[in-house]
Amino acid sequence: MATHSLAKSIAAVVLGCGALSAAAPAADSPLAPLSRLAGHCWKGEFAEGGSWDRHCFAWAYDGTFLHDKHVVTGKRAPYGGETWYRHDAKAQRIVFHYFNSEGGYSEGDVQPAQNEFRFPEERYERGGKALVLRTIWRFEGDTKMLAVTEQQKDGQWVEAFRIAFSRE
């Protein structure tokens, strides 16, 4: 009987800590502009068809971070990754750190604007090779988002992919 009560108490503490860590940041927090993503999953098909990308966003550590876990299915699969967004107090900006299932990594900053997030030039590295990318996420209301990623090739920006997302 005592073991059962102890197990229930431990479960309550663990679950309570999880709930606390998922709390959203204050409205005046530097991460507040990312709130429209938190607590939702967004799914979209790549423009060429046959592949889908699904991102799920959740606050972590009392709103100190926003965590994004994504999975690609279809022709481009299997592929997935995780992004951690945080406020860089020294640089006074929102930054991200991305890791994927192919061993790739990138980091950069996020520039919130009216109905969009800009991810200016970032360096994506994998297996000793690097790509220079930039992305814009444009929102249409609360449930639609268009993501366009461009890649720098020979000094020119060329569209790498485009995904029209819907909030699930």
User: 3-class secondary structure for 121-133?
Assistant: EEEEEECCEEEEE
DSSP 8-class letter at 33: G
Using the predicted structure, report yes or no on whether residue 17 has a pLDDT greater than 50.
no
Indicate the number of domains in the chain: 1
Average pLDDT, the chain: 89
Please name which of 24, 27, 49, 28 lies closest in space to residue 38, comparing C-alpha atoms. 24
Maximal CA-CA distance, the chain: 71
Return the CATH number at 120.
Answer: 2.40.128.20
Q: For the purposes of burial, counting CB atoms within 10 Å of the CB of 99, is it exposed (0-12), middle (13-18) or buried (19 or more)?
A: middle
Residue 143 lies in a domain: yes
What pLDDT shows up at residue 12? Answer: 38
Residue 1 lies in a domain: no
What pLDDT shows up at residue 79? Answer: 93
Residue 8 lies in a domain: no
Please give the average per-residue pLDDT across 44-60, as a whole number: 96
Cα 30 from Cα 19, distance rounded (Å) = 21
Q: Is 14 helix (H, G, I), strand (E, B) or coil?
A: helix
What pLDDT shows up at residue 3? Answer: 44
Backbone φ and ψ of 7, nearest 5°? -65, -40
What pLDDT shows up at residue 22? Answer: 67
What pLDDT shows up at residue 23? Answer: 83
Residue 100 lies in a domain: yes
What is the residue range of 98's domain?
23-167
Least confident among 14-18, 68-72, 85-89? 14-18
Residue 41 lies in a domain: yes
Residue 7 lies in a domain: no
Residue 49 lies in a domain: yes
Residue 4 lies in a domain: no
